[in-house]
Amino acid sequence: MSHPIPAGVAAHVPAETTGFVFNHTMLRVKDPTTSLDFYTRVLGFSLIDQRHFDEAAFSLYFLAYLPAGTRIPADAGERAVWMAKLPALLELTHNHGSEDQDGAVYHNGNSEPRGFGHICVSVPDIEAACARFEQLEVPFQKRLSDGRMKSIAFIRDPDDYWVEIISSTPYSP
Amino acid sequence: MSHPIPAGVAAHVPAETTGFVFNHTMLRVKDPTTSLDFYTRVLGFSLIDQRHFDEAAFSLYFLAYLPAGTRIPADAGERAVWMAKLPALLELTHNHGSEDQDGAVYHNGNSEPRGFGHICVSVPDIEAACARFEQLEVPFQKRLSDGRMKSIAFIRDPDDYWVEIISSTPYSP
């Protein structure tokens, strides 16, 4: 890196963390139907598991980008172990009944009180991806043409969480 | 899956989303020194890039679990393209000066207003990992022994964001 290593960074990766995987990010969603539609139809994630806790009145939906033809283990225990080894899952939590509330239920972290900022999906052809989002009437937080950073966009999911879109190929607007 | 496919899930993965990658999750942090220490020394992430925007007074730090011996491209442009293809990066945003504020600066999403819930790291030996976190005096939100779900734990990062710890190997407490 062109900058000196910043303070705080460990001198080496601890041996005890071998095999650690950044498995997932969890977001609460108001209505799983609209969120599952957005993440599968618009963004191309696959639903790989759902877990329903009726007594505690919540459900979990796990989504991932899988290589074509991936076989999801049918056995729940086998599936849980398989999933735990994967990086980059998205977990959506649905507290039953939130879909019947009026208006927005969740806070996207980008107004006070701030914290979480966004998730990001990289795409091979960012202009084509953004044109398709327009066609699908996905709301934009920032179009490629907005602001100073012309090579990134932000779309908004059904709960208003921001999804950054970046190019995974060299791109100069 | 043992449940019917829920409403909203697309019948197939759209061809237009081929090559999409869930690249990163962004969290704002008060003090990059303490956060980089936590994510590298405690959790074993590697810092793969840092970007400083002095005029806008913020910095970005990108972390990842990399296979041992991975060579990070030295050229910034090459590195950006390489990074954009990776899944499961963690982006930490530091707004300059936040480290000098008193008390907590950011909201972890788990009290009102709720939204983002947590990130999750899977580990090959969850008992050893949790024993090490205890030894390193990492605060726990939920120990393995707390509550009903004895196979998961939650630790807290320096901004109080929750990090779920799950086992990536069959584990029955």
Residues 92-111 of B with CB under 8 A from A: 93, 106-109
**Domains of chain A with bracketed CATH:** 22-65+76-99 (3.10.180.10), 115-172 (3.10.180.10)
Tokens of A78: 């086998």
Contact B90 A22 (CB under 8 A): yes
Instruction: Give this prediction's pTM.
Output: 0.98
By the 8 A CB rule, do B159 and B110 touch? no
Contact A120 B159 (CB under 8 A): no
Give the closest of B19, B41, B128 to A168, CB-based.
B19
Number of DSSP helices (H) and strands (E) in chain A, helices first: 3, 8
Contact A120 B90 (CB under 8 A): no
By the 8 A CB rule, do A164 and A118 touch? yes
C-alpha span between A91 and B118 (Å, rounded): 9
Longest CA pairwise span in chain B (Å) = 53
Which chain A residues have a beta carbon less than 8 Å from that of B120?
Answer: 22-26, 91
Phi and psi at residue A12, to the nearest 5°: -150, 165
User: What residues pair up with B28 in beta bridges, in sequence order?
Assistant: B93
Tokens of A153: 């966009």
By the 8 A CB rule, do A92 and A85 touch? no
Number of DSSP helices (H) and strands (E) in chain B, helices first: 3, 8
For chain A, say whether B84 makes contact (Cβ under 8 Å). Answer: yes
Which chain B residues have a beta carbon less than 8 Å from that of A164?
Answer: 24, 26
Residues, chain A, total? 173
Alpha carbon distances (Å) from A76 to A25, A51, A168, B161: 21, 10, 34, 29
ipTM over 0.90: yes
Q: What is the pLDDT along chain B (173 residues), one digit of tens a residue?
A: 568 999 999 999 999 999 999 999 999 999 999 999 999 999 999 999 999 999 999 999 999 999 989 999 999 999 999 999 999 999 999 999 999 999 999 999 999 999 999 999 999 999 999 999 999 999 999 999 999 999 999 999 999 999 999 999 999 88
Give the closest of B1, B8, B22 to A88, CB-based.
B22
Give the closest of B8, B52, B115 to A116, CB-based.
B115
- Check whether A169 has a pLDDT greater than 60: yes
Contact A114 B123 (CB under 8 A): no
Determine the residue among B63, B122, B127, B155 to mutate to test chain A binding: the one whose Cβ has the most chain A Cβ atoms within 10 Å: B122
Per-residue pLDDT tens over the stretch A37-75: 999 999 999 999 999 999 999 999 999 999 989 999 999
